[in-house]
A = this chain, B = another copy of it.
């Protein structure tokens, strides 16, 4: 079973953007034990797309074509694939009506080209796009099975999950059984984490691979060629061995798990509410919390206290604390967390103060960050995070948010 991925786009060919889609797709295909041995990138030129698809159909059984489904004249992927396969295009009339209704609702003028996003390969079927306008296509021809997917990563990922993977599962049915499980970690360097996981797994027939994201490391466990029951048992064993060793950095398993989602769920279970006072993170903690659907059950609001005067004025951090300990200090963090908690009269308050950089502050280098968690009925707990100053401004902020969420996750489970 040979698989080829063809990425289409001048912006890829010219190096204007990095091709994250192909890595994402290749990784997802491994759930089905499919390895895309050939990966090709071509320009938007119709003749080149056509040639690439023809070549791919010769050497592969499954061909996945990604990008170039936009409504503009330079988006020529679909008609080019159709020519390569010798098929026509079919208009999905329902989808076309939905596109028109959407433009009408938004009161935006349509261009004649917009209809192009409602076509699919004749004789095949459309692949639904849960978050965008362009339809995908799926066609099993004599030469190969071919899927066509949109380029924007948000649409691409949504279509892979919602439409492509189910289609491939249905089509290829019982290939070698592969069972996977995703574990989520934060706060441990990847190389160390993976070394320790390899040691924890020992001789278990479970393969672990890591996937580094901005504020977490996903570890995918994979068992091949076992019955589902045996595979489940192996994955349980592996997970137990890993969590026993790396529990301090672990925050859950499953494809849809996020650290903020876990914290919101625990707060809901406890009927507790949270607030925050953020300095260097500037609202990133609260915004991350609010990215979870249903956050309103546990979060009413909070504060961004970037300047010293806002820390004093909005949440009552004492001038004496700021002057004596400095704004970059455990004392200030503690008073911020407790001050925010009291201002909104909720169960938990968290705080962030420190140096995102690039410039030092109060003599502290970038990466010096103090955080605190205040809980009703207890003294606030404040501590310093140790972050690499070379991470850069944005990563220092993201890591700070992730590490406080991890501390909340453990605290809400009664672990510290």
A→B interface (CB under 8 Å): 10-20, 22-30, 35-43, 48, 70-72, 74, 102, 106-109, 111, 113-114, 130-132, 152, 154, 189-192, 194-195, 209-212, 214, 220, 276, 278, 280-287, 289-291, 293, 295-296, 299-307, 309-311, 313-314, 343-344, 356-359, 386-388, 390-395, 397
Contact = CB atoms under 8 A, between A and B. Distances in A.
A392 B42 contact: no
Given A285-B283, A388-B106, A19 B16 contact: no
Contacts of A26: 12-15
Given A189-B108, A284-B287, A301-B307, A293 B393 contact: yes
Contact of A191 (B19, B30, B111, B296): B111
Given A13-B26, A109-B192, A189-B108, A304 B307 contact: no
Contact of A39 (B40, B130, B154, B301): B40
A106 B386 contact: yes
Given A16-B209, A131-B392, A42 B37 contact: yes
Contacts of A113: 191, 195
A209 to B, nearest CB: 6
Contacts of A14: 26-27, 30, 35, 209
Contacts of A12: 23, 26, 39
Given A108-B189, A390-B131, A28 B40 contact: no
Nearest to A301: B310
A38 B314 CA distance: 58
